[in-house]
Amino acid sequence: MSFRSLRMVLTNFLFLLLIFSSSAALDAQTPPGGLSGVVTDSSGGVIVKAAVRLTNSSGASQDTATNRDGFYEFKGLLPGTYTLKAVAKGFAIFTEEDVQILAGQTKSLNIGLLIQIEEEKVEVSGSSTKVDIAPSNNAGMVVMQGKDLEALSDDPDELQSELQTLAGPSAGPNGGQIYIDGFTAGTLPPKASIREIRINQNPFSAEYDKLGYGRIEILTKPGTEQFHGQAFLSGTTAAFNARNPFGNLPLGTPAPGNHSTQYSGNIGGPLGKSASFSFNIEGRNVIDLHIVDTPFVDPVTFQIIPQFTQVVPNPGTRYNLSPRLDYQLTSTNTLTARYQYFHNTDENEGSGQFNLAEQGFNQVNAEQTLQVSDTQVVNAKTINETRFQFVRSSNSETPVSITPTIQVQGAFTSGGNVQGTSVDTLDRFELQNYTSMALGKH
């Protein structure tokens, strides 16, 4: 390399070094800027802990929050253009762009936040709700199935009361009717066997002999292709009661305990390729108490007892059995048979208050129901269904005592119950045939 070339390289190097040194010195001599201000609401009150963010032109940002005086501040800012944002709960976001920061100067910028306005977006589609004029889809109908049935009571008496409340007032003096699989029935099946409940469906249908307001239709579960089952048990006992309500009994008189037990369960499954079954059971054992509290005259000493207290146990048992069989005769013909046995006993009914224990009577109710239905699909537009039902119900009442009745007006009644012994048996048959044809829209 020649001396001339070496001198040129050194000259260029010294020139570049001079440029970088001058630039560094210039930067070191540029003082930083700043930004500060107060965040207030529309009324002029300061906002504490409002979040404030400052972003430069390259995207780098700094965050701070207002103090108890609503004051915010950014220090050590390089000169340039910034974007300022502020936000607080319940207020709209504030944004200020093109904020110029000059060297050596602290810019003052106060922020006023506006109350956030709630916005709701409503989308209206072009499709409208289709009006269904089918009589079976009337607006007043209530259909319960699946998880809807779980909200109903497991107690059969309470279940019937709840359904009658949902059905509302009926037309006529006899109350609403209850149908089980299309048959009129007086006893509800076990809750575990119920598949669907329809209330007030098509009240003007010609299928029924009465106006359908207050009508309750219950459809039971058929068998399934796989075995399945479930069980339920609940109960109460006097051992878990708080205070003893019979603490004022005469000395030496034991207070009878009271308890209740309720259980239910079902099982179902296939019986070959063309048949299936289901079996349901429900039961309840209750020991309740009747309280006698009345003036009394001792029949031996004739001594007047101003307040005679007596506790009479009132046990009751109830169980309900319901097997069902479904058999497919052909691809278009299905036969269904269902049997239900209901039995209920109550002891010492009629006692309590002014009626002594010997005024009680024992009551037994039993009901047997056999239902058979045959459904045939005649063609694509015609279905024929034949139903037969036989119901035998019996009711008997037996007094605890058969001694003469003694009644003291305004006081007590003792001796045997005046109703005496009674037995009542009722047989009822029901035969139906319905043919449904779809003729098209009319």
Question: Can you give the CATH number for the domain in which 58 is found?
Answer: 2.60.40.1120
- Both 69 and 142 in one domain: the answer is no
Secondary element (H or E) of residue 178: strand 178-180
* C-beta separation of 310 from 412 below 8 A: no
Of 177, 202, 220, which one is at a domain's C-terminal end?
Answer: 220
Number of folded domains in the chain? 3
Residue the block writes with tokens 């098209």: 440
* Residue 149 confidence (pLDDT) above 70: yes
- Both 143 and 66 in one domain: the answer is no
Residue the block writes with tokens 């009571």: 153
- Both 360 and 229 in one domain: the answer is yes
- Both 399 and 302 in one domain: the answer is yes
Q: Which two tokens stand for residue 369?
A: 């129901």
Q: How many residues does the chain have?
A: 442
Instruction: Classify residue 23: in a domain, yes or no.
Output: no
- Both 235 and 190 in one domain: the answer is no
The string of pLDDT tens digits covering residues 3-26 is 555 566 566 655 555 555 544 444
Q: What region, left, alpha or beta, does residue 294 occupy, with left being phi > 0 and alpha being psi -120 to 50 degrees?
A: beta
N-term to C-term CA, the chain? 111
Instruction: Classify residue 210: in a domain, yes or no.
Output: yes
Instruction: Classify residue 204: in a domain, yes or no.
Output: yes
> What is the structure's pLDDT at 29?
57
Question: Which whole number is the average pLDDT over 392-399?
Answer: 93
> What is the structure's pLDDT at 424?
93
User: How much of the chain, in percent, has pLDDT values that exceed 70?
Assistant: 79
Q: Which two tokens stand for residue 233?
A: 């048990």
Going by C-alpha positions, the residue among 391, 400, 298, 301 that lies closest to residue 347 is 400
* Residue 133 confidence (pLDDT) above 50: no
Instruction: Classify residue 362: in a domain, yes or no.
Output: yes
Q: Which two tokens stand for residue 164?
A: 């009658």
- Both 230 and 202 in one domain: the answer is no
CA distances from 167 to 195, 214, 386 (A): 18, 5, 27
Query: How high does pLDDT run on average in the chain?
Result: 81
* Residue 128 confidence (pLDDT) above 70: no
* Residue 68 confidence (pLDDT) above 80: yes
Beta-bridged to residue 290, according to DSSP, are 312
Burial class (CB in 10 A: 0-12, 13-18, 19+), 111: buried
**CA torsion, points 64, 67, 70, 74, in degrees to nearest 10?**
-30
- Both 242 and 175 in one domain: the answer is no
DSSP conformational letter for 181 = T
Strand order in the sheet with 61-65: 61-65, 51-56, 80-87, 94-101
Residue with the larger pLDDT of the pair 200 and 396: 396
Of 170, 195, 220, which one is at a domain's C-terminal end?
Answer: 220
Query: At 315, which amino acid appears?
Result: P
pTM to 2 decimals?
0.58
- Both 243 and 350 in one domain: the answer is yes
- Both 165 and 249 in one domain: the answer is no
Beta-bridged to residue 235, according to DSSP, are 261
- Both 242 and 326 in one domain: the answer is yes
Q: Which two tokens stand for residue 296?
A: 């009394």
- Both 107 and 197 in one domain: the answer is no
> What is the structure's pLDDT at 158?
83
User: For residue 364, what pLDDT band results from cuts at 50, 70 and 90?
Assistant: very high
* C-beta separation of 207 from 247 below 8 A: no
Residue range(s) defining the domain that contains residue 83: 30-112
Instruction: Classify residue 255: in a domain, yes or no.
Output: yes
* C-beta separation of 306 from 295 below 8 A: yes
Secondary element (H or E) of residue 166: helix 156-167
Residue with the larger pLDDT of the pair 361 and 225: 361
Instruction: Classify residue 8: in a domain, yes or no.
Output: no
Which of 29-38, 55-64, 158-167, 403-412 tops mean pLDDT?
A: 55-64
The SS3 of residue 302 is coil
The SS3 of residue 136 is helix
Of 202, 220, 238, which one is at a domain's C-terminal end?
Answer: 220
- Both 98 and 137 in one domain: the answer is no
